[in-house]
Amino acid sequence: MKIFPVEQIRQWDQYSITHEKITSLNLMERAAAACFEWIAKNVDLTSTFLIFCGNGNNGGDGLAIARMLQEAKRKVRVYIIPSDKRTADCTANLNRLSALNIAINEIATGKDFPSISSNSIVIDALFGTGLGKPLQGLAEKLVQHINTSGNNVISIDMPSGLFADNTSQGNTVIKASHTLSFQTYKLAFMFAENEACTGDIHLLDIGLHNDFYQNTKCIFSTIDKKLAGSIYKPRKKYTHKYTFGHALLYAGSTNMMGAAVLCAKACLRSGAGLVTVHTTSNAAAIIHTAVPEALVTAEHDFTIITKKKAAIGIGPGLEVCDTNSTLLKIILSGWKGPLVIDASGLQLLNPLIKLLAQRKNKPAVLTPHPGEFERLFGKTNTDLERIQLAMEKAAQHNCYIIVKGRNSLVACPDGAGYFNTTGNSGMATAGSGDVLTGIITGLLAQGYSQKDACLIGVYLHGLAGDLAAEKYSEEAMIAGDITEQLGNAFKILQADTDITGNNNTPLQQQGIL
């Protein structure tokens, strides 16, 4: 799913109005109706709804929602900040609501702030995606008043005070329980720093014209089931193990063989035909016992060990030493095939990073967590800065950078960025990254392109993590549980999807759990 910046969202609205021959007020009515329907299905309608409205189109949405709740005979109280700069559509909905003889309370000073009882539901329609500067004055104090109440808050399109395309650190922002946003994700929804403000995000389809979506380019997109399913390559019937590639993993050391085991198992579970683990000779028995399907070698002749290999993954559990530094330099300079660098490999990469750009036809894949990313590329102060730096460095060094996190970012050398939509906090556990390295290396060995392996790899990794969390809980799951669920994750790729590309069928109904 594409993530349009605010300006393109405005253009999409206007395109829809022009090509569907509807008015902007009609489009606002669609948005309000979608919100009303969600509220009717998901909220206790015996509650009192306190609806706070601004004077722009976001406020117009709120006023229309208030009218629909009033017509449904729900308890509604409406509050609006007075202004002589109200938009035409907001004014139209204010007039429609006034015709129902409902009290519309103006908030001109802090003395006008209403008390918010514990059984009230707050609907935030103060400021939407068009906000360009931090809240201040009366608006800021009103948001603070709402946040202090501790009530459930439903924000319309964006939590008030949150910038759609920029960092909002230091801003006063509504702390929403749910955000009802329209059509597509906003970039700000991908920032971990905004989690406390957005709550659960729900995308509502308001029928914006599909031609604009299909024909308009943007920098960022999400990786959803629809995209991952389009990348997935079903196996042909007449094949053998060499059809699916021989992966080579430089992984493990005397005190870190668990990482090699996790990586090798994930590489095999991702579909690689064969996997060879290069590790210290005294640790070979561990691989033979824990991963009997894998081969083991301690051969140091690079030409011999890489013969007939389809992809290399290096780093999980690897010792940081001069020998392995020399090895990585040889791989970067002499290996022409697909390459994944993770964990200790990223630490070894630091003085060798300029060699990445020489890999013209086979860009390397780097899989750092935020700390490793900063050690490689420098400190950042916000999520947006980290995203921008990752995009810059992927282009500069001609590599793919997967910055791992809640919505892992795949920064591509062609300037595109993708945020993953699967995964959970249970995956913040030792070895989870080793599993990802194994998955991506296995996919590359099977012939997936670097970009496709990154996109479907992070999606499968997160999806398997979601399945593991559902089985064991986020607290109790461990990295090996992710690998165990990879088979079920592959199965889900072929399940039906909704318009957003997300699978809405309960896992039990799919026969997964």
pLDDT tens for 103-135 read 999 999 999 999 999 999 999 999 999 999 999
Q: Is the pLDDT of residue 219 over 50?
A: yes
| Average pLDDT estimate for 238-253 | 95
With cut-offs at 50, 70 and 90, classify the pLDDT of residue 498: very low
With cut-offs at 50, 70 and 90, classify the pLDDT of residue 456: very high
Stretch among 121-135, 170-184, 197-211, 498-512 having the lowest mean pLDDT: 498-512
pLDDT tens for 47-57 read 999 999 999 99
What are the C-alpha distances in Å from 464 to residues 16, 185, 491?
Answer: 38, 23, 11
User: Kind of pairing, strands 417-420 and 409-411?
Assistant: antiparallel
Q: Is the pLDDT of residue 502 over 90?
A: no
In 3D, which of 381, 377, 358, 378 has the Cα closest to residue 366?
377
| Average pLDDT estimate for 141-158 | 97
Q: What's the mean pLDDT when you consider all of the chain?
A: 94
With cut-offs at 50, 70 and 90, classify the pLDDT of residue 386: very high
Q: Is the pLDDT of residue 504 over 50?
A: no
| pLDDT value of residue 299 | 85
| pLDDT value of residue 473 | 98
The Cα–Cα gap between 231 and 501 comes to 13
| pLDDT value of residue 84 | 87
Q: Is the pLDDT of residue 361 over 90?
A: no
3-class SS of residue 513: coil
Separation of CA 287 from chain center? 34
| pLDDT value of residue 105 | 97
3-class SS of residue 357: helix
Q: Is the pLDDT of residue 211 over 70?
A: yes
All structural domains of the chain: 2-218 (3.40.50.10260), 226-492 (3.40.1190.20)
With cut-offs at 50, 70 and 90, classify the pLDDT of residue 281: confident
The neighbouring-strand residues paired with 51 are: 78, 123
CB neighbours of 299 closer than 8 A, spacing ≥ 6?
A: 278, 305
pTM > 0.85: yes
